[in-house]
């Protein structure tokens, strides 16, 4: 079983986590076209590569960001939202 | 024949073991395998092959002699070559008809030409005949007889951790463990054999110095405080991030390591010649195992067929064990000079270079009594007219090896075929995985030990201890494996796969039929699909395919290695389920009242309360009647209960729910609908403003965990000045409903319960029965009622107080079923029962709850778009005919209009109030006018007439919530 490093709780089995999805900027709802909005809501990029994703350590309800190489199936780093600098 | 004591033998000579095999009594020694005990006693026929029922003996004595599969009472799959013999065992060979010696299926081999490769696929596609074939094959195949009375065994799992896990305790593995431990790492080293040491303690060539090298390493490992040695334990698989299940006789241990070293060695591969399966023909390493582990003389007079240095050591070991070596048949054109060859020549052993065993001969019992050898040319072709017979009762096959790379493949190692070694070796290893020794392509003992030390240091460094090694180990100069260990024979029976009785011609036929890819060849021919999973056959099959297709082994590639490395008993894998089940704080009260519980998400909730002598439906109707006419109480503590606090708490709710909350007065409640970004209705609840900066709100029972999780995430993303608290478990809640509810509650509180000061949909805090509570006047079931929330620990006390106060009013509990009917009469939907993963609020008539003019909320933009589009369906109420009899539609039954699907039923129930069946259904918009008739197709295909009806079915103007004037 894979390990995932929660920035608060450390390395834990991946079964303790839920994956929410890639961080994607929301288009400006006031100005974007219906098509742009539909693309944002319904389409996901499944191409392998390095992704920034929301993950949650469920027992402690800790949300954080994981940078993951989905091609190599490798977690590159994890950090709390806004603490990536 | 039993030899004098060997220095590292596994035997306890002071304790004899008596057992039975095929009805005959035998005696072995403690520490013997079943096969070694039988072999020592002169028994050579140990089993029958799977397809042709040929007699078989010892092949590898290394866990692949699957033709020596035995049944010991209830115990199946007992492999004679490795399972230790125990006192009182009563063993029978599987896969025989009427016993091993007189097996009635023994002549099946004569029909071999009618059973060509892939004959299953060719013969058994006739549908009419298939059942007959199936019966036949179920009878004649299968390994052993299952006793269904076998007791149920619970097998514990254990979990363990280490810095470095070493798989394989041969010379390189032991050296790796010591090196890693000397760097400071905590090390676990496991070996599938009953005792550690691996080939270091039996591949000796009668050279005790070799044995002593391994012995010394083993003694150091045993003495090292940071090394744990697990014998009789195999690494069954490799899973991500160095997670390896270690299986022993009693249990599975899930081992998490920081680094894994695979030092699993190599499997010796058979030489392929006619009758290479006769008892007496075995791997060279099998003979060495018999000699040094069990002190059994393998054969009296041996021919050694070889193509590497190992075969010469086998010959020396045989001489040391008192056997005669009739001849060394070296399949290489030239014999490289070596001390071993010289030693053998000086002892008068004939060495035939450029020769092969052409065929083996059997005596009357089907056991080996001689071979014919022949000359072969550089391409391995038989030189005609060069045949010559040699009498012998044993052939040692020592012409090549295949890496035990199963775990390496599972870990994602890229392997490369090394032309000099004639073996696949690791090319690129995944991070945290290391290989050493023979599996890594090093065969000389010094190289194996040095490679182990290197891997040990590298693995320890990966785990955070010490520095990696900078040692370079010189590559091998001599091939341990022959490129073509196969001798053609017109009459076949030159076996490649001993599990499945596959001969060389089976591969030729398969390739001729177009199965020229290794994965296709495997499936068509079943090579490697028997119990030993190709450990002694895949490499030969690959070589044959490569030659037939003109490719290199690298181009042919290997089949996919999957868990498990070795069959794991199901009892080791089966375990108890871990599905947490939540009980409300009032669970005990419900149980005492006779509740029948149902599963509701993670919770157990009372479906209804059983009353002696009443049917389920009567109990539910009585609970409904009590709510409508008197007073009753339901546990709603499973609702999600959240609190948001802070200056921007209102703003937060504005963003996550579709309605408006910034204009709510303190002490008010408001219905709340939540959507996802696509505008799909995802949850609903009630929001109460407790104070300016504090909102208390509920979610559906099933959505509690996910809603809280998602709201936490949004709060992090938005960085609003507010915080979220999940009170779901901390609070208990009940709904006290019915015309008499206020009268009952008034006895327990000083709060002003008049409509003026506590109106419908208000929220108040106060004391009930001395307990601090938050109360909301709600109308889910359509009666005057109070949802009372209190700290969980007070739940039972409050429940008891209310029940006591309500006695005079005829109070009772009601369950989820009654509540479902009561809310249906009010036309209230249940999210996820009356909605699905595509339902938007407009489809369920909740336009009023969606404030599209707010600056922003989740799903707003999607709902703006949806609002402009015509509705595809609408949730409406419906009635069945007044006098409906016969079957009643059920949830999810389809509405059919003009032969097309026009909707579906989401809820349906008998309404005592209406006196008819009522329900909710999604219908296409053209059918939604009240009074429109439509048809529901029920389970048996017949149609039931229904009619659209306005909701609520009961008290449409909420008169029951108003104070009687």
Kindly state the helix (H) or strand (E) to which residue B805 belongs, with its residue range: helix B795-805
Reference B81, options B562, B539, B522, B498; nearest CA is B498
Q: Which residue of A has its CA nearest to B865?
A: A34
Nearest to A81 among B716, B726, B862 (CB): B716
pLDDT of residue B742: 96
Specify whether the CB–CB gap between B34 and B54 falls below 8 A.
Answer: no
Let me know whether B83 and B178 are in one domain: no
Q: Is residue A85 part of a domain?
A: no
Let me know whether B290 and B263 are in one domain: no
**Reported confidence tier of residue B405, pLDDT bands at 50, 70, 90:** very high
Range list of β-strands (E), B331-385: 351-353, 355-362, 368-375
**C-alpha–C-alpha distance, residues B58 and B197, integer Å:** 21
**What's the CATH code of the domain at B717?**
3.30.70.1400
**Reported confidence tier of residue B135, pLDDT bands at 50, 70, 90:** confident
A24 interfaces chain B, CB cutoff of 8 Å: no
**Reported confidence tier of residue B69, pLDDT bands at 50, 70, 90:** very high
Query: Does the pLDDT at position B763 exceed 90?
Result: yes
Let me know whether B441 and B503 are in one domain: no
DSSP assignments along B697-760, one per residue: EEE-TTTHHHHHHHHHHHHHHHT-S-EEEE-TTTEEEEEEESTTHHHHHHTT--S--STTTS-T
B207-224 per-position pLDDT tens digit: 999 999 999 999 999 999
Selected for mutation to probe chain A from B463, B862, B863, B866 (highest A CB count within 10 Å) is B862
Contact B678 A34 (CB under 8 A): no
Last residue of a domain, one of B664, B696, B727: B727
Which range of residues forms the domain containing residue A63?
Answer: 3-79
Our CA angle for B783, B786, B788, nearest 5°, is 150
Chain A CB contacts of B712 below 8 Å? 56, 61, 63
pLDDT mean across residues, chain A: 94
Let me know whether B377 and B278 are in one domain: yes
ipTM above threshold 0.85 = yes
Let me know whether B137 and B20 are in one domain: yes
Range list of β-strands (E), B757-889: 763-768, 771-777, 785-791, 812-813, 874-880
A83 interfaces chain B, CB cutoff of 8 Å: no
**How many independent structural domains does chain B possess?**
6
Q: Is residue B312 part of a domain?
A: yes
Contact A61 B708 (CB under 8 A): yes
Region B387-409: mean pLDDT is: 97
Query: Does the pLDDT at position B965 exceed 60?
Result: no
Last residue of a domain, one of B399, B423, B454: B399
Cis peptide before B817 (omega within 30 of 0): no
Query: Does the pLDDT at position A85 exceed 70?
Result: no
A79 interfaces chain B, CB cutoff of 8 Å: no
**How many independent structural domains does chain A possess?**
1
Specify whether the CB–CB gap between B433 and B410 falls below 8 A.
Answer: no
DSSP code for B364 = T
Specify whether the CB–CB gap between B533 and B553 falls below 8 A.
Answer: no
Let me know whether B904 and B936 are in one domain: yes
Structure tokens at B320: 């040391």
pLDDT of residue B76: 85
Let me know whether B882 and B948 are in one domain: yes
Contact A61 B678 (CB under 8 A): no
Q: Is residue B945 part of a domain?
A: yes
How buried is B727 (Cβ within 10 angstroms: 0-12 exposed, 13-18 middle, 19+ buried)? middle
Our CA angle for B46, B47, B52, nearest 5°, is 145
Specify whether the CB–CB gap between B294 and B36 falls below 8 A.
Answer: yes
Considering Cα of B13, then B16, then B17, then B18, what sign does the dihedral take? positive
Sequence-ordered list of residues with C-beta below 8 angstroms from that of B738, at least 6 positions apart, any chain: B626, B627, B628, B629, B630, B631, B632, B783, B784, B785
Contact B862 A37 (CB under 8 A): yes
Chain B CB contacts of A1 below 8 Å? 239-241, 243
pLDDT of residue B283: 98
Instruction: Quote the minimal CA–CA distance from A8 to chain B in Å.
Output: 15
A54 interfaces chain B, CB cutoff of 8 Å: yes
The sheet that has A17-22: what strands, in order across it?
Answer: A17-22, A50-57, A62-69, A74-79
Residue corresponding to tokens 């909701």 = B951
Q: b vs e for B295-329, b when ≥16 Cβ sit within 10 Å of the residue's Cβ?
A: bbbbbebbbbbbbbbbbbbbbbbbbbbebebbbbb
Contact B240 A1 (CB under 8 A): yes
Let me know whether B173 and B140 are in one domain: no
Let me know whether B80 and B190 are in one domain: no
Contact A37 B865 (CB under 8 A): yes
Q: Where are the alpha helices (DSSP H) in B46-154?
A: 119-123, 130-140
**What's the CATH code of the domain at B364?**
3.50.50.60
**Reported confidence tier of residue B201, pLDDT bands at 50, 70, 90:** very high
Last residue of a domain, one of B96, B112, B147: B147
Q: Is residue A84 part of a domain?
A: no
CA atoms within 13 A on the CB side of B257: 32
Region B776-804: mean pLDDT is: 96
Residues paired with residue B949 on neighbouring β-strands, in sequence order: B877
pLDDT mean across residues, chain B: 94
**Reported confidence tier of residue B114, pLDDT bands at 50, 70, 90:** low
Region B754-765: mean pLDDT is: 94
Region A52-81: mean pLDDT is: 95
Give the three-class secondary structure for A26.
coil
Q: Is residue B829 part of a domain?
A: no
Chain B CB contacts of A38 below 8 Å? 865
Instruction: Quote the minimal CA–CA distance from A49 to chain B in Å.
Output: 18
Q: What percent of chain B has pLDDT over 70?
A: 99
Query: Does the pLDDT at position B674 exceed 70?
Result: yes
The alpha carbon of residue B437 and the mean position of all alpha carbons in its chain are separated, in whole angstroms, by 31
Q: b vs e for B209-243, b when ≥16 Cβ sit within 10 Å of the residue's Cβ?
A: ebbebbbebbebbeebebbbbbebbbbbbbbebbb
Instruction: Quote the minimal CA–CA distance from B856 to chain A in Å.
Output: 9
- The count of other CB atoms within 10 Å of the CB of residue B565 is 23
Contact A29 B856 (CB under 8 A): yes
Contact A2 B716 (CB under 8 A): no
Structure tokens at B298: 């393998």
Q: Is residue A75 part of a domain?
A: yes
B784-787 contact pairs (CB < 8 A, 24+): B784/B737, B784/B738, B784/B739, B784/B741, B784/B742, B784/B960, B784/B961, B785/B735, B785/B736, B785/B737, B785/B738, B785/B741, B786/B735, B786/B736, B786/B737, B786/B741, B786/B742, B786/B745, B787/B636, B787/B686, B787/B733, B787/B734, B787/B735
Q: What's the start-to-end Cα distance of chain A, in Å?
A: 30
Which range of residues forms the domain containing residue B46?
Answer: 1-147
Region B113-126: mean pLDDT is: 72
**C-alpha–C-alpha distance, residues B630 and B807, integer Å:** 11
Let me know whether B11 and B103 are in one domain: yes
pLDDT of residue B800: 98
Query: Does the pLDDT at position B151 exceed 90?
Result: no
Contact B241 A56 (CB under 8 A): no
Let me know whether B23 and B131 are in one domain: yes
**What's the CATH code of the domain at A71?**
3.30.2270.10
Residues paired with residue B643 on neighbouring β-strands, in sequence order: B696, B725
Specify whether the CB–CB gap between B164 and B259 falls below 8 A.
Answer: yes
Report CA-CA distances (Å) from B136 to B50, B52, B132, B699: 15, 15, 6, 60
Q: Is residue B896 part of a domain?
A: yes
**C-alpha–C-alpha distance, residues B703 and B654, integer Å:** 19
Region A40-67: mean pLDDT is: 95
Specify whether the CB–CB gap between A75 and A5 falls below 8 A.
Answer: yes
SS3 of chain B: helix, strand, coil, percent, to 5: 25, 30, 45
**Reported confidence tier of residue B113, pLDDT bands at 50, 70, 90:** low
pLDDT of residue B267: 97
Query: Does the pLDDT at position B288 exceed 90?
Result: yes
Residue corresponding to tokens 């209190």 = B790
Instruction: Quote the minimal CA–CA distance from A30 to chain B in Å.
Output: 8
Residue corresponding to tokens 């199965």 = B515
Query: Does the pLDDT at position B964 exceed 70?
Result: no
Let me know whether B453 and B545 are in one domain: no
pLDDT of residue B542: 96
Region B185-201: mean pLDDT is: 97
pLDDT of residue A30: 87
Chain A CB contacts of B708 below 8 Å? 61
Nearest to B713 among A20, A29, A32 (CB): A20
**C-alpha–C-alpha distance, residues B251 and B249, integer Å:** 6
Q: Is residue B480 part of a domain?
A: no
Q: Is residue B611 part of a domain?
A: no
**C-alpha–C-alpha distance, residues B213 and B69, integer Å:** 35
pLDDT of residue B220: 98
Q: Is residue B625 part of a domain?
A: no
């Amino acid at each position: 079983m894979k390990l995932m490093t929660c920035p608060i709780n450390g390395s834990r089995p991946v079964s303790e986590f839920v994956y929410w999805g890639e961080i994607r900027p929301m288009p400006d709802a006031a100005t974007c076209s219906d098509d742009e909005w539909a693309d944002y809501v319904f389409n996901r990029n499944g191409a392998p590569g390095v992704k920034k994703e929301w993950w949650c350590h469920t027992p402690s309800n800790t949300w954080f960001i994981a940078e993951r190489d989905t091609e190599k199936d490798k977690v590159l780093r994890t950090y709390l939202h806004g603490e990536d600098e | 024949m039993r030899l004098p004591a060997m220095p590292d033998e596994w035997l306890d000579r002071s304790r004899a073991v008596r057992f039975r095999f095929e009805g005959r009594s035998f005696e072995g020694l403690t520490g013997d395998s079943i096969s070694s005990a039988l072999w020592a006693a002169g028994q050579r026929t140990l089993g029958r092959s799977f397809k042709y029922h040929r007699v078989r003996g010892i092949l590898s004595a290394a866990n692949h002699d699957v033709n020596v599969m035995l049944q010991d009472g209830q115990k199946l799959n007992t492999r004679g070559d490795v399972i230790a013999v125990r006192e009182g065992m009563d063993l029978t060979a599987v896969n025989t008809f009427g016993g091993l010696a007189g097996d009635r299926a023994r002549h099946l081999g004569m029909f071999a030409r009618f059973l060509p490769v892939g004959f299953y696929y060719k013969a058994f596609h006739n549908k009419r005949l298939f059942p007959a074939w199936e019966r036949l094959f179920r009878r004649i195949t299968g390994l052993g007889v299952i006793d269904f009375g076998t007791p149920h065994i619970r097998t514990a799992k254990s979990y363990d951790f280490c810095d470095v896990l070493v798989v394989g305790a041969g010379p390189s593995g032991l050296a790796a463990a010591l090196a890693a431990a000397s760097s400071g790492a905590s090390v676990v080293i496991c070996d599938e054999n009953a005792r550690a040491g691996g080939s270091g303690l039996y591949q000796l060539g009668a050279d005790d110095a070799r044995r002593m090298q391994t012995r010394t390493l083993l003694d150091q490992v045993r003495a090292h405080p940071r090394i744990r040695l697990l014998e009789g334990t195999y690494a069954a698989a490799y899973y991500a991030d160095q997670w390896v299940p270690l299986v022993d006789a009693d249990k599975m241990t899930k081992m998490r390591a920081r680094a894994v070293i695979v030092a699993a060695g190599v499997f010796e591969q058979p030489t392929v010649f006619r009758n290479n399966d006769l008892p007496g023909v075995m791997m060279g390493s099998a003979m060495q195992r018999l000699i040094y582990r069990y002190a059994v003389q393998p054969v009296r007079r041996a021919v050694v067929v070889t193509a590497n240095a190992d075969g010469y050591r086998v010959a020396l070991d045989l001489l040391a064990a008192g056997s005669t070596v009739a001849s060394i048949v070296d399949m290489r054109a030239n014999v490289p000079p070596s001390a071993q060859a010289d030693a053998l020549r000086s002892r008068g052993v004939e060495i035939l270079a450029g020769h092969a065993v052409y065929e083996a001969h059997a005596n009357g019992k089907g056991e080996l009594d001689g071979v014919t050898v022949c000359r072969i040319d550089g391409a391995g072709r038989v030189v005609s007219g060069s045949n010559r017979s040699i009498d012998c009762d044993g052939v040692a096959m020592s012409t090549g090896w295949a890496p035990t790379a199963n775990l390496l493949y599972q870990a994602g190692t890229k392997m490369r075929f090394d032309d000099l070694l004639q073996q696949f070796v690791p090319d690129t290893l995944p991070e945290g995985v290391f290989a050493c020794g023979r599996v890594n392509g090093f065969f000389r003992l010094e190289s194996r030990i040095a490679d182990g030390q290197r891997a040990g240091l590298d693995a320890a460094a990966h785990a955070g201890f010490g520095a990696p090694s900078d040692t370079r180990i010189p590559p091998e100069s001599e091939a341990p494996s022959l490129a073509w260990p196969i001798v053609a024979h017109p009459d076949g029976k030159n076996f490649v796969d001993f599990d499945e009785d596959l001969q060389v011609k089976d591969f030729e036929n398969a390739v001729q039929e177009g199965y020229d890819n290794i994965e296709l060849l495997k499936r068509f021919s079943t090579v490697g699909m028997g119990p030993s999973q190709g450990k002694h056959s895949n490499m030969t099959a690959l070589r044959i395919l490569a030659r037939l297709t003109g490719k290199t082994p690298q181009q042919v590639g290997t089949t996919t290695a999957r868990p498990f490395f070795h069959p794991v008993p199901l009892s080791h894998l089966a375990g108890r389920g871990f599905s947490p089940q939540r009980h409300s704080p009032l669970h005990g009260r419900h149980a005492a009242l006779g509740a029948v519980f149902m599963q509701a998400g993670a919770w157990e909730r009372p479906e209804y309360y059983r009353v002696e002598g009443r049917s389920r439906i009567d109990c539910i109707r009585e609970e409904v009647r009590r709510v409508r006419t008197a007073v009753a109480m339901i546990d709603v503590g499973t609702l999600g209960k959240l609190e948001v606090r802070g200056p921007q708490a209102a703003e937060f709710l504005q963003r996550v729910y579709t309605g408006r909350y910034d204009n709510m007065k303190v002490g008010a409640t408001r219905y709340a609908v939540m959507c996802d970004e696509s505008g799909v209705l995802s949850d609903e609840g009630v929001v109460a403003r407790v104070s300016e900066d504090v909102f208390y709100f509920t979610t559906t029972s099933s959505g509690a965990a996910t809603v809280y999780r998602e709201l936490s995430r949004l709060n992090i993303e938005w960085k609003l000045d507010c915080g979220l608290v999940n009170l779901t478990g901390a609070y208990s809640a009940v709904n006290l409903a019915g015309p008499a509810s206020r009268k009952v509650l008034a006895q327990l509180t000083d709060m002003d319960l008049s409509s003026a000061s506590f109106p419908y949909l208000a929220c108040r805090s106060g004391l009930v029965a001395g307990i601090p509570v938050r109360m909301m006047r709600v109308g889910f079931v359509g009666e005057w009622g109070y949802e009372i929330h209190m700290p969980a620990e007070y739940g039972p006390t409050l429940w008891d107080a209310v029940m006591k106060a309500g006695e005079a009013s005829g109070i009772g509990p009601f369950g989820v079923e009654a509540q479902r009917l009561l809310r249906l009469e009010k036309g209230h939907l249940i999210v996820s029962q009356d909605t699905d993963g595509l339902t938007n609020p407009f489809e369920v008539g909740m336009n009023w709850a969606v404030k599209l003019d707010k600056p922003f909320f989740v799903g707003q933009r999607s709902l703006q778009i949806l609002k402009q589009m015509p509705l595809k369906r609408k949730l409406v109420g419906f009635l069945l005919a007044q006098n409906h009899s016969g079957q009643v539609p059920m949830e999810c039954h389809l509405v059919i209009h003009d032969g097309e699907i026009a909707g579906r039923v989401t809820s349906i129930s008998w309404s005592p109030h209406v006196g008819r069946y009522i329900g909710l259904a999604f219908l296409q918009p053209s059918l939604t006018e009240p009074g429109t008739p439509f048809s529901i197709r029920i389970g048996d295909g017949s149609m039931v007439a229904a009619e659209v009806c306005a909701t609520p079915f009961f008290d449409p103007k909420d008169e029951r919530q108003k104070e009687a004037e």
